[in-house]
Structure 1
């Protein structure tokens, strides 16, 4: 079942079967994201985090809009990222998190309002998805998967300076795109 609309309808009609299908399709990707963010510290916590991610998908399935040009997989990956980071915060583990939605791109955004946060996340995801390649991939690797610049440069066969330049120029383009798309400030 690759069609997002069919999977969404299945989750709405029969949550158990729909979530089972979603886990079959995206479970390994979600597990990879969770492990990438929180590490291998406790397999029980990893499984609990993954379960929470799919529960959040089910609880928020009505908020997903197919016409938004964001795939269900991307939406679910966003939920996974935020949930895993929340798990890290709760466990009081410390590591460098690079929040793209804050001052890094020159915007001060109020994320205390949950609706504004959801809207901003969708706008941010659309803006990043609109970036040309390899800029889009560089942004995802750096700000979503927290990869180091040297690692990104090596995997994309670019120099570290080229990656830094693309990030610098991309942040300007992204900032303008976010304002144009109506990010809630």
Structure 2
């Protein structure tokens, strides 16, 4: 069954079409979600819920799907990845913990292998420089730029003022620039 046939079936008789969709792409969507949700933090129910949400979102937003931009397969993968990342962000915010332990830092470095060498090198050095900042600057930058938290949210979590968070962010970025520039000259 082609994508166009599946779309028509989804519009006419959704129940059997969703079953077909899940049979065809369930394993792929599960793999995408599982890859994004760290095993020690998320259980099988979290993964299954995220997979179900992906198919549900695909069906509910069927009008947003544009076949000329990509296949159903690719659209489902994008939805699955975004849902999984949203779940990760939500979980870490609720638990008030930072997801960048040593294992995740290593995973992020491995995923950089897909980019070009210079970008990998810069990201690796940036991660190293951020780790060397010390607390609370390290946590402020990671919460602000990795988790997307506002200065006000970070201030509340760390017992600082929003102005202090902004000042520390500005200074920490300056330190990072200086460190990266030093490393660039020594290369």
* TM-score when normalising by structure 2: 0.51
**Alignment map for 1:47-58 (pairs within 5 Å):** 47-58=48-59
Unmatched segments (≥5 aa) in structure 1: 97-144, 154-161, 169-185
Structure having the higher Rg? 2
Residues 149 and 164 of structure 1 are in contact (CA less than 8 Å); yes or no, is this contact kept in structure 2?
no
Counterpart CA distance in 1 for 2:108 and 2:62 is 27
Match of 1:95 in 2: 99
Match of 1:82 in 2: 82
Counterpart CA distance in 2 for 1:94 and 1:8 is 41
Deviations 1:45-96 (A, max 9, x none): 111110000000000111112223x111111111011101111122116435
Match of 2:71 in 1: 71
Paired residue secondary structure (1:148): helix
**Alignment map for 1:26-41 (pairs within 5 Å):** 26-40=25-39, 41=42
Match of 1:128 in 2: none
Counterpart CA distance in 1 for 2:25 and 2:44 is 18
Q: Bigger relative contact order, structure 1 or 2, given CA contacts below 8 A and separation 6+?
A: 1
Deviations 1:130-177 (A, max 9, x none): xxxxxxxxxxxxxxx956257x37xxxxxxxx8324779xxxxxxxxx
Residues 34 and 49 of structure 1 are in contact (CA less than 8 Å); yes or no, is this contact kept in structure 2?
yes
Query: Please, which of 137, 145, 163 is the counterpart of residue 116 of structure 2?
Result: 163
Aligned length: 109
Deviations 1:8-40 (A, max 9, x none): 111111111111111111111110110100133
Unmatched segments (≥5 aa) in structure 2: 101-106, 122-187
Structure with more helix by fraction? 2
Paired residue secondary structure (2:99): coil
Larger deviation, residues 11-20 vs 28-37: 11-20
Deviations 1:86-116 (A, max 9, x none): 11122116435xxxxxxxxxxxxxxxxxxxx
Counterpart CA distance in 2 for 1:147 and 1:44 is 28
